[in-house]
Structure 1
């Protein structure tokens, strides 16, 4: 069903097959030769032997080749591909959109825009007038009238100015519209899966390819409609009840999904009892093979005690009603309409390191994995902090904590070690030494809850973490490996990491606008949010595969410079808003672009 479309896409499916059928006898042996290889690695073995990551990279490169083969090089091909994939005519303005995209030297690949249709399809089941009423009732919104963009907000809000600037640059090509914005870090819409499924089926049943002679080419004006006296819409935003945010969010998962059918018993956070077996079953020999599936809490019910989003978010104001609401990220079960995040659009050095600062040559970088950041992810309190994702990563990359866990049945206070044998890792101090020599991670702020400005210490975290000096993004690029973790929601540093000459190692449960543009194991390294694969990832690249790491880092940078540019954010938003305006138009069934058919 379309609601699960991103999980079942063909590329992810092909990669997932690697987890089912063993195509190689996989014997991982670390190197003995090469000046760049530390003596801590296995001696007497050939690092060129086959490894699970080799197979994942090979499959991903095939996927990229196939994706590039679908590129449209002219307007008629782009329109034909649209009709074949979407089942209706492109929206009015599609020709101008295409010329805009080509003028920006963009790759026109229809799959790049799948997220738009995943997000918007359910709205076809709601009457256009009702959608407009809903949109007009949200106080934080951007409107377009007569090619002029207007910012409307009840008070100054973070990032609204950046989103306004993005839309304003496109106003000459946009129809009238009202665009409500979610200004919170956390997502706000979770419509029960059964409702979304009904909406999707209704859209599919009513989808038609209008005869060209019956197509309408002009969007409606909203100027006169603005004068109508209309009762405001109540979004029904609420805070969590019994079951916390997990209880609110899981209704967005399919009825037979693990999230809907498995609720973990009351957890004693004083010990880490959390089950990692679920990831091990869906992985390929312990590594992420289906990135879409691996980051979906609907099939990862263990995330309810492994991620701050579900333990205790900073703020929650969630509705189970479908209404237009745009935002920069969302969980797979959320229903917001994704935009390029404002912090990606804003030219803010804090999140990018500088638009022109991407790091030096690979060979000059420090051979370490570097992470700095605040202990965010939600309200990490004394009873629950051991379930938070950033705290877990800090502990798992601390050599002393890992050495102690090895002596304590593989348990630390907030993590469990993987089975070293599964990753072909030595168990006689190899991992602690690996971390000691090749990682540099630390919190620059412990974010204690409740926070006392007069006393910045944190009694329940101080015994486990030392505050490290902060580090500007441009200095992070001096390191070869850059893990990237969720905070209160998505990580605003990801685009900067992708455009750098360093290698991003990405762990997230959030979706973003660009997900269908990036291919794991070709453009970045995916990591599971349990982080049990991190040691294996490090050992793979550090064990004589420096050239492979460099190849992925530079391939990701080159690809990002083609598909993650500010121009690409404009192109995506332009097309998104043409589609959104059509859905909100009273004549939406007849609106379309057919000039290419007349040309042929």
Structure 2
């Protein structure tokens, strides 16, 4: 019986692809909900297993093949004192920092100084000294809020951090993409076990401050970054971290008017995304080169193939930036705050419509018509002006329990689901005829108060030039968000017919209330900076809390 459920799931999946009649006896959403619940339950069991500092330390050592960093006991007290659900699984941190073990502490410190002190780099600096945190000189005033927000997070636990400097990415776009062969060697070195024996050092080194060169008001014109604004980035940066044999490295030409089925197959179940993690892997998706503004024509791309210690709020697949919780969310730049004018009613009482408002900020279309490939523009076009029948999985007859993909003419699509999807005035990040052409193509929807979103059952969330700051408040609401994302953030994992839609909306809301709180942002950043403190310590191979 141990193999019965996986076998049934395999056969169910196979039936979607190989059914000669084109019919299936179940809806894929039912299978995906079942799988999602099972995977989430299993993940949560291992992620929250520890109920004591000793157990958490032992599990850390078993999981990461090294002892926990100094002051891990203070981190555990902080996390458990704030009712943290996740204690044991911080693999995002492990993965992001893994290649940096190939650099010496002095190299990391020097690279940090370099990128902070180079002018027009789009990088800001934060200094931690003697239990206090402050902004380093040279940060442009337009982005001061981002560093202030990061400082507000760090101030909650700064007394337990060692002296160090941090280089924060001020751009929306990620910055660091190391070529595949180089990054794999670095990761391999990082995976080497570091199990401390008798000669253990349990505290960060004294006099760490002298290892960080002073940052003054003086800025230097040299730069470690290449400027590729308004230019294609997929082949030079997007796919450079993929294996040479992968489709993203080998395939460059295809009919962009047709769906690349082989690109979506690995992470899909029919028309539905079945593996969210794999969908973020660009290596099997060469079509992405023409499907997102970040790859077609980014507004402010400054990239490096060298492994640089850049902390970013998000990154696309293949990039090596270090993710940290976004000050945008921590400072409630866009907040879930229903009120008497714009309440958040029960799911049943919301408008049955898919709602989105946004601007054309995903990339720049400077007169070359590349806007036609950008995901936000394609969303608005498909919602309002579809020109071809769409194949949709529908019951073969009213009340039937069998389903088949059925071509639905554009005129009937609104009957299946009402949409209220529009750009708001004005068209931005454009040049030449592309400004007028987009205005003619899309028109404009009314600008709305952000709190008005809660009146709709279905909310669409689409990345812009970087991650979307709306997704967290969408999750906190009683609406059901649909996520279209190229960029991945710090967040821990979580796993439409009316009943199923309401269930997913409520479970997402409940999960966000448990693990996506401001306290969870602090817990994640605290742990990240303890790990970074060890990585930048000259005695890091001897450093850790000894656990017998």
TM-score band w.r.t. shorter chain: 0.7 to 0.9
Question: What is the CA-CA distance between 1:162 and the residue it aligns to?
Answer: 1.1
For the pair 1:386 / 2:372, whether they are aligned, the reply is: yes
Q: Describe the SS at the equivalent of 2:128.
A: strand
State the secondary structure of the residue aligned to 1:169: coil
1:212-251 equivalences in 2 (<5 Å): 212-226=198-212, 236-240=224-228, 244-249=232-237, 250-251=239-240
Task: Provide the residue aligned with 1:173 in structure 2.
Answer: 160
Q: What is the CA distance between 1:283 and its match in structure 2?
A: 1.4
- 1:221, distance to aligned residue in structure 2 (A): 3.0
Unaligned runs of 5+ in 2: 18-23, 117-123, 396-402
Q: Secondary structure at the match of 1:244?
A: coil
Q: Is the counterpart of residue 73 in structure 1 residue 77 in structure 2? A: no
How far apart are 1:161 and its partner, in Å?
Answer: 1.6
Cα distance in 2, alignment partners of residues 115 and 17 from structure 1: 31
- Quick check: 1:137–1:233 contact (8 Å CA) kept in 2? no
SS in 1 for 2:35: helix
Q: Which residue of 1 aligns with 2:68?
A: 90
Q: Following superposition of structure 1 onto structure 2, how do residues 105-116 of structure 1 map, counting pairs within 5 Å?
A: 105-111=83-89, 113-116=90-93
Any idea what the Cα deviations from partners look like across 1:142-178, whole Å, max 9, x if unmatched? 1101101011142214222211221222211211111
- The 5-angstrom pairing of residues 580-591 of structure 1 reads 580-591=532-543
Give yes or no for contact 1:73–1:108 (8 Å, CA) kept in 2: no
- 2:412 is matched with 432
In the TM superposition, residue 216 of structure 1 has moved relative to its aligned partner by 3.4
CA drift at 1:226: 4.4
Structural mapping, 1:326-405, within 5 Å: 326-348=311-333, 351-354=334-337, 359-382=344-367, 383-398=369-384, 401-402=385-386, 404-405=387-388
Matched, 1:479 2:456: yes
2 CA distance for matches of 1:63 and 1:489?
28
Alpha-carbon distance, 1:241 to partner = 10
Instruction: Indicate the residue corresponding to 1:529 in structure 2.
Output: none
The alignment status of 1:555 with 2:507, answered yes or no, reads yes
Q: How far did 1:199 drift?
A: 0.9
> Counterpart of 2:489?
512
Aligned-pair CA distance for 1:372: 0.6
The question of whether the paired residues in 1 share the 8 Å contact of 2:65 and 2:194 is answered with yes
In the TM superposition, what whole-angstrom CA distance separates every residue of 1:249-270 from its partner, at most 9, and x where no partner exists? Answer: 12122222211111226x8xxx
CA contact (8 A) 1:375 1:391 kept: yes
Contact 2:53 2:76 in 1 (8 A): yes
User: Are 1:182 and 2:169 matched, yes or no?
Assistant: yes
Distance 1:377 1:311, change over 3 A: same
Which residue of the partner structure matches residue 38 of structure 2?
62
Q: 565-574 or 585-594, which moves further after superposition?
A: 585-594
SS in 2 for 1:138: helix
Q: Which residue of 2 aligns with 1:149?
A: 133
Equivalent-residue separation in structure 2 for 1:193 and 1:437 (angstroms):
43
Q: Secondary structure at the match of 1:97?
A: helix
In 1, the alpha carbon distance for the partners of 2:376 and 2:8 equals 29
Aligned length: 513
Other structure's SS at 1:309 match: helix
Distance 1:23 1:133, change over 3 A: closer
Alpha-carbon distance in 2 for matches of 1:317, 1:435:
45
Aligned to 1:255: 244
1:492 aligns with 2:469: yes
Cα distance change, pair 362–212 in 1 and its aligned pair in 2 (3 A): farther
1:137 shift after superposition: 2.3
The verdict on how the C-alpha distance between 1:499 and 1:419 changes in structure 2, with shifts beyond 3 A counting, is closer
After TM superposition, list the pairs within 5 Å mapping 1:298-313 onto structure 2: 298-313=283-298
Whether contact under 8 Å (1:187, 1:330) holds in the other structure is: yes
Change (3 A) 1:242 1:389: closer
Q: CA shift at 1:214, angstroms?
A: 2.4
**Higher strand proportion, which one?**
2
Alignment CA distance shift 1:583-1:386 (3 Å): same
- Listed one character per residue, the Cα deviations across residues 436-478 of structure 1 (whole Å, up to 9, x for unaligned) are 85211100135244469xxx99321133211101122211011
Conservation of the 8 A alpha-carbon contact between 2:267 and 2:276: no
Mapped partners of 1:151, 1:122: distance in 2:
27
Partner of 2:524: 572
1:321 aligns with 2:273: no
* 1:251 alignment partner, SS class: coil
Q: Which of residues 95, 108, 116 is equivalent to 1:131?
A: 108
Structure 1, 132-141 or 215-224: larger mean CA deviation: 215-224
> 1:517 aligns to what SS in structure 2?
coil
Q: 1:121 to 1:355 in 2, by over 3 A?
A: farther
Given that residues 230 and 298 in structure 2 are in contact (C-alpha distance below 8 angstroms), is that contact kept between their aligned partners in structure 1?
no
Between 142-151 and 352-361, report the one with greater CA deviation.
352-361
Mapping 1:413-424, distance limit 5 Å: 417-418=390-391, 424=404
Q: Please, what is the CA RMSD of the aligned residues? A: 3.1
| Separation in 1, partners of 2:14, 2:242 | 35
Query: How many Å separate the matches in 2 of 1:243 and 1:329?
Result: 20
Deviation at 1:593, TM superposition (A): 1.1
SS in structure 1 at match of 2:126 = strand
- Rounded to whole Å, the distance in 1 between the matches of 2:545 and 2:461 is 41
Q: CA deviation at 1:419?
A: 7.0
CA, structure 1 residues 314+196, in 2 after alignment: closer, same or farther (shift >3 Å)?
same
1:264 to 223, 228, 253: 253
2:151 is aligned, of 150, 153, 164, to 164
SS in 2 for 1:82: helix
Instruction: Give the TM-score of the pair, scaled to structure 1.
Output: 0.79
Alpha-carbon separation, structure 1, partners of 2:420 and 2:148: 35
Contact 1:18 1:284 in 2 (8 A): no
- Contiguous gaps of at least 5 residues in structure 1: 1-14, 28-46, 407-416, 520-540
- Greater alpha carbon shift after TM alignment, 491-500 vs 443-452: 443-452
Superposition deviation, residue 117 in structure 1 = 0.6
Calculate the TM-score normalised by the size of structure 2: 0.86
CA distance in structure 2 between the partners assigned to 1:431 and 1:215 by the alignment: 70
Shift of 1:432: 3.3
Shift in Å, 1:239: 2.1
